[in-house]
Structure 1
Amino acid sequence: MGARRPRTGDDWKLLAQACAALLERLPELVDEHVRELHAYSPAYGRVIGYDQHWQEARDAMRIGIETISAPRASPRRDLDHAEWLGRRRAEQGLPLELMVHAYRLAGHQVWDALLEAASADARRLAVLMQSATMVWSAVDAQADTASEAYRATELELRRRTDEQLQALLDALLEGGRSAEVAARAAAGLDLPERGRYAVVVLRTARRDLTHRRLEAEGLRFVWRMRTDCEVGVVSLDEGTGLDALAELMEGRCPGPGGISPVVTGLTELGRARRLAELALRTCPADAPAIVRLDRRMPGALVVSQPELSSLLVSEVLGALLDLDPADRAVLLETLDVWLDCEGSAGRAASRLYCHRNTVFNRLRRLEQLTSRSLSRPRDLTEMTLALDAFRLSPG
């Protein structure tokens, strides 16, 4: 509220009389005020309701009028009420601009009514004009106070809502299958309860990634930050599959990360999250990537059974483990590349920058050390799984 200019006792008496006369007309002023607001926007009636709005407008206008003639040292009841009303309007969901409009309209109506009552009395009119700055400063202060309270309450409500939604999402990601939780999460996150979903888990939370940067046609992301990872729930359109998701992730995220298979509803997110984490565990530390579980099944099998994996490594690759680390690495790399090249020694040699006979010699040495033949399917399966287990073992 602006500084009040010094006035004589008669000036204050005239101003108090004008305000007292205006209070006698309060029901008439409130009728006009509420009627104009409801004509301006139907949201007032839809959000607040006419009777409740009338009572609250009466209280606000009465306190505002009493403030005009109150002594300078009086408590600012108008600002206390404005703060309360700002919080209330935010809780009710009335748009902020409509609340501010109501304050401005009330200020104009009160001022016009004061001018109309003082127009026949020059002395009273002069006192009123002297008070113009004070009156409009009071209206501004009330509107500003109500707006600040509105914004603070809106932020708090949004924070509470976000926390509730995150809690619901966490419950689903932890394996909750409650239909009620799924329904509330679906409503709050604007996601279908039954639909095609995948879960992405990134090992290191990447704070620079947002759903806006990763949005694409047919894909919608909802991210959940955790201490050591970032979990993304991906809603897939009917015609969008994991190929599109993997392509998008590989182009935007350096990894490591895991992508689950598609599941068919929010209650399946817990299983999808566990499968995405399993896919993530198949990423070697030295070759981070975004991997799909359906493309890493052998690796997923071995990392899901650490005790059996350790036994498999020792049984199949035991003799290799006694070699010099550099020598062992060359042999295992050759096997890995040969498998990746679908058993073609020529293509493997090209990638390893060596002669194809060198590839054959290394593979024969592997067969001798493991007592297994790469031409026998069962032996090849064991060696492939043992290679995955060795590469993915924590040690």
Structure 2
Amino acid sequence: MSESGGSWDGLIARARGRLPSMVERFLSKVMAEPAYAASSLTAEDLRQRSVQTFTAMLDALRTDGDTTALTSLAESLGTLRARQAIPLDSLVRVIRLDFTVLWDTLSDPSLDADPALLVRHAGRVWSTVDTFVTQVQEHYLTERSAIQLANADLQRHYLSQLFAPVRPTEAVLDRIAGALRVPRSGNFCVAATAKDDGMAVQRRIRSSTRRGDVVFTYDMGHHTLFIWPTAEVALGKLPPGISALFDGMAAAVAPVARGLANVREAAAAAREIMTDLPMDSSGITTLLERWKTVARHQLCLTGCDLGQLVFPYLHMCTELEREKILKTVTTYLETGSLGDTSRALDCHRNTVLNRLNAFQKYTGLDVQRPHDAAAVILALP
């Protein structure tokens, strides 16, 4: 064969006659891609798109090739696959199979192609497929951004109803659950971060490749809330995919909300825990870790400072005695054991008892009684 455009165009024409076999070969490769095999895409959909793609590519590869159809197809394919939630990396891998199928067909000995002609046009074949991949990817990302923006607006709308000043009615809760596609009676985790950190978490959510994780975001001024369904009934360790969202920052996690209606209270708890954290805090903090300071702060806000049950009365003893008594009481409340307290303070068990009795004499509070111990725990800094 000569090197003329006709030789190349003749090869393209002969390859068009192999279109059905090209499509079937492509489909057999596609179904080996896990994301496609597990998707709801039908064989008819894939076959139709394959016919369109290979036809447009062969048209573009002619000497006077026209890429209009291929460009239009890239937009529709990228947009459609984004709406179908096909992962982008899977989509790109599948489209790149077009080159393998095209090249195998063009170089098939039965088409009688001049090897030198194939070598000279190899770059053009690859460039055509690569440009198509790039265009599909651009339209996919544009559509995904639009979908995410629309979903975020919808989520904000319904979450604002959940956190409205007036508690939502049963009918409104049903509507919110339906719109967010969550079970109204399910369990939910709620975390709060500082607003600046919340922006970083949202970026991590958008870039996450994990599928199946549903995390709702809601801006509450100084704090950003993150809400997600959970199978847990009591808060333990966060799942790795969720925990990683808060790496390198402070986050407060409330007790599990049992039912959508209780997410309001969980959100209030998460914000209160977050407000209670020191400025240089980092890591995930739960109510179990901060309940003492949270409760102390809330009591003080109402004028119920439990420290007033302790410190004014301890001023009746000497400073040294007061220091020893408070150290003993604090250690005993941490251990709950006279023996452990005596060992921790390196003193006799009777000395521990004498100091606890002295504390009771001055304040009237017996820390060996759970009721009094709880008050003293909240009283001591």
The TM-score with structure 2 as length reference comes to 0.58
Question: What is the CA–CA distance in structure 2 between the aligned matches of 1:311 and 1:144, rounded to whole Å?
Answer: 70
Residue 254 (structure 2) aligned to one of 249, 252, 260:
260
Offset at 1:139? 0.8
Alpha-carbon offset, residue 140 of structure 1: 0.8
How far off its partner does 1:228 sit? 8.1
| Contact kept in structure 1, 2:8 and 2:63, CA below 8 Å | no
1: CA distance between counterparts of 2:282 and 2:377? 17
Instruction: Render the CA deviation track for 1:100-124: whole Å, top value 9, x for unaligned.
Output: 33344345556769x95xx7xxxxx
Residues 24-39 of structure 1 mapped to structure 2, 5 A cutoff: 33-34=22-23, 37=26
- Counterpart CA distance in 2 for 1:279 and 1:91 is 43
Name the structure 1 match of 2:345: 352
Contact kept, 8 Å, 1:316 with 1:382, in 2: the verdict is no
SS of 2:257's equivalent in the other structure is: coil
Amino acid at match of 2:127: A
Q: Given residue 330 of structure 2, which amino acid in structure 1 is its aligned partner?
A: D
Q: How many residues align?
A: 335
Note the 1:246-395 alignment, pairs <5 A: 260-266=254-260, 268-278=262-272, 293=287, 300-308=294-302, 311-314=305-308, 316-318=310-312, 320=314, 330-342=324-336, 345-367=338-360, 372-375=363-366, 381=371, 384-385=374-375, 387-391=377-381
Q: Is residue 15 from structure 1 mapped to residue 12 from structure 2 by the alignment?
A: no
Matched, 1:105 2:101: yes
In the alignment, is residue 236 of structure 1 matched against residue 227 of structure 2?
Answer: no
Is 1:65–2:62 an aligned residue pair?
Answer: yes
Gap runs ≥5 in structure 2:
32-40, 206-212, 241-246
Quick check: 1:302–1:389 contact (8 Å CA) kept in 2? yes
Q: Which moved more, 1:172-181 or 1:256-265?
A: 172-181
| CA distance 1:326–1:162, shift in 2 (3 Å) | farther
Contact 2:315–2:322 at 8 Å: present in 1 too? yes
Partner of 1:147: 133
Question: Which secondary structure state, in structure 2, belongs to the residue aligned with residue 318 of structure 1?
Answer: helix
Q: Residue 122 of structure 2 is aligned with which of 133, 136, 150? A: 136
Per-residue deviation, residues 176-235 of structure 1 (Å, max 9, x unmatched): 57555544655xxxx765433444668997x9xx99xxxxxxxx9969899989968572
1:385 alignment partner AA:
A
Matching residue's letter, 1:355 = H
Q: In terms of Rg, which structure is larger?
A: 1
Structure 1 residue 144: Cα displacement: 1.9
Distance 1:32 1:229, change over 3 A: closer
What is the match of residue 96 of structure 1? 92
SS at match of 1:261: coil
* 1:238-280 C-alpha deviation (Å, 9 max, x unpaired): xx744x549x9xxxx9998765333334554443243345456
On the 8 A contact 1:179/1:267 being kept in 2, the answer is no
The 1:133/1:230 distance shift into structure 2, 3 A limit, reads same
Gaps of 5+ in 1: 1-10, 69-76, 120-124, 212-219
Q: How far apart are the structure 2 equivalents of 1:137 and 1:255?
A: 48
Equivalent residue number for residue 3 of structure 1: none
* Alignment check: 8 A CA contact 2:177 2:183 kept: no
**C-alpha displacement at 1:90, in angstroms?**
3.5
Partner SS for 2:230 = strand
When residues 130 and 195 of structure 1 are mapped into structure 2, their CA distance, relative to the original with a 3 A threshold, is same
Aligned-residue RMSD, C-alpha: 5.8
CA–CA distance in structure 1, aligned partners of residues 101 and 118 of structure 2: 16
Residue-by-residue CA offset, 1:320-340 (whole Å, 9 max, x unaligned) = 589999876554332233334
Name the amino acid aligned to 1:262: V
Instruction: Determine what percentage of the aligned residue pairs are the same residue.
Output: 15
2:60 counterpart letter in structure 1: I
Q: C-alpha displacement at 1:65, in angstroms?
A: 1.4
Evaluate the alpha carbon distance shift between residue 271 and residue 17 of structure 1 in structure 2; reply closer, same or farther with a 3 A threshold.
Answer: same
